[in-house]
Amino acid sequence: MTADFRHFYQKTWAERTDIVAQQAHLTPAEQALFKQYYLEQHHEIIENYLTDYPLPMGLAVNFVVDGVNRIIPMVTEEPSVIAAASNGAKIVKRAGGFTTTLNQREMIGQIVLEHLADPEQTATIIEQHAAALLDVADAAHPSLKKRGGGARSLRTRVLGQGYLSIDLFVDVQAAMGANMLNSMLEAVAKSIGVMTKTDALMSILSNYATASLVKAECDIPVGLLQAGRYSGELVAQKMASASTVAQLDPYRATTHNKGIMNGIDALAIASGNDWRALESGAHAYAAKDGQYRGMSKWTTDGTTLHGELELPLPVGIVGGSIKINELAQLNQRLLGIQTAGDLERIMIAVGLAQNLAALRALVTTGIQQGHMHLQLKSLAMAAGATAAELPKILQQLELAPQQDLATTQRLIADMRQIKEETDD
């Protein structure tokens, strides 16, 4: 029988979970999970709330960013991410740490007009009234100006086929600014409507945050990169080659960049930021010249390996769900940050550290050596191994010809059988 989901959003939490249980034929134990992870205040964050979905939070260490020691809370379900970030940061720490550059921190929003017979002429009219339109924007969110932020500039871009984009640049201070900017854009769109007698097609922030770029760099003496039988010089050369391949080939670039975003997303989640916004902006920036490329670049002169990573990372330390997320606030304390810019600088360094560790492993021992131990641990836990059983099971799994769930379950069963017999 299909449960009745009509007016689901108007139901109480108990009614909702009953309907879901009926639909999916949940056992009482399964249904109890809704209660186990339930947080009352989260009804206010999303619609049709059922329960929370916990993710592990850990700490990456060894970071020195602009001369300051930092610890980095990271939320991720993927083994190895935190180990790799800490490992990359340790190498850079020995080389003096990361340096970062942040020149501008403004969000861009768009008002798009359509069906224009002469978009250039409309653009000219709008630009002539730019100062008045900036005032309209500020009046739509006056508290921002009081805090020292507000609308900064306006530009127009003729998109072709009768479309015109009016881009509003706003200093959003400590927030990410999406909602604030959207309110300002809608007010400006109304004024533009009166001015040009054209209704806007849409008014919305752009996640292509090219006015919020932040860059991390590091210079590592090649000796610090030595790995097993690979000399530091060879590792540096191979890492530079790997970087070149990511510039040339979108197949490689995509995975190269996924590794960078492993760290950036984990910190974005830990700090209560919208990681989808960062993901879309970062990947768009990786394709800024028309081809999708690696986000970072590594070069070597034989003595030093130079790494750099520049991305749009418009994050906030207020606003969104941060104000009701106690852990996001706690994590700001762990990070020791005072401004949104501090968070951006740390976040870009995390991306570069992650990439350094991944590339160094890839061009030397391969990624699996480091990963496998952690992957096997996840496998053993999924197969039901207890904490006490883990070390032995991991030893056996590492030698097993097949490292899959069935094998792991068999190994655990065998081990328990032997233990029972010995205990008897």
Q: Is 274 in the site for ligand NDP (CB under 6 A)?
A: yes
Q: Is 175 in the site for ligand NDP (CB under 6 A)?
A: yes
CA separation for the pair 375, 80 (Å, rounded): 8
Complex with ligand NDP: residue 3 or 202, whichever CB lies closer: 202
From the CB of 192, what's the least distance to ligand NDP, in Å?
Answer: 20
Q: Is 143 in the site for ligand NDP (CB under 6 A)?
A: yes
Q: Is 174 in the site for ligand NDP (CB under 6 A)?
A: yes
Question: Which tokens is 82 given?
Answer: 């935190």
Question: Which tokens is 42 given?
Answer: 């989260």
DSSP state of 323: G
Residue 382's CB is within 10 A of a number of other CB atoms, namely 11
| 57-65 and 107-113 beta bridge pairing | unpaired
15 labelled catalytic: no
Q: H or E segment at 206?
A: strand 200-206
Q: Is 277 in the site for ligand NDP (CB under 6 A)?
A: yes
Q: Is 205 in the site for ligand NDP (CB under 6 A)?
A: yes
Q: Is 184 in the site for ligand NDP (CB under 6 A)?
A: no
Residue 203's CB is within 10 A of a number of other CB atoms, namely 22
Set 66, 78, 186, 279: catalytic member? 78
Amino acid symbol at 62: N
Alpha helices of 57-108 — where are they, by DSSP H?
81-94
Complex with ligand NDP: residue 205 or 337, whichever CB lies closer: 205
Q: Is 176 in the site for ligand NDP (CB under 6 A)?
A: yes
Question: Which tokens is 234 given?
Answer: 């060879």
Set 371, 373, 377, 392: catalytic member? 371
78 labelled catalytic: yes
Q: Is 319 in the site for ligand NDP (CB under 6 A)?
A: yes
According to DSSP, the residues that pair with 65 across neighbouring strands are 68, 98
Q: Which residue has the tokens 């653009």?
A: 123
Contact 208, 286 (CB under 8 A): no
Kindly tell me which residue out of 165, 207, 237, 243 binds ligand NDP, with binding defined by CB under 6 A.
Answer: 207
Contact 256, 241 (CB under 8 A): no
Set 35, 258, 323, 419: catalytic member? 258
Complex with ligand NDP: residue 304 or 321, whichever CB lies closer: 321
Set 167, 274, 308, 342: catalytic member? 274
Positions marked active-site: 78, 258, 274, 371
Instruction: Using CB under 6 A, list all residues that contact ligand NDP.
Output: 143-144, 147, 173-180, 205, 207, 274, 277, 316, 318-321
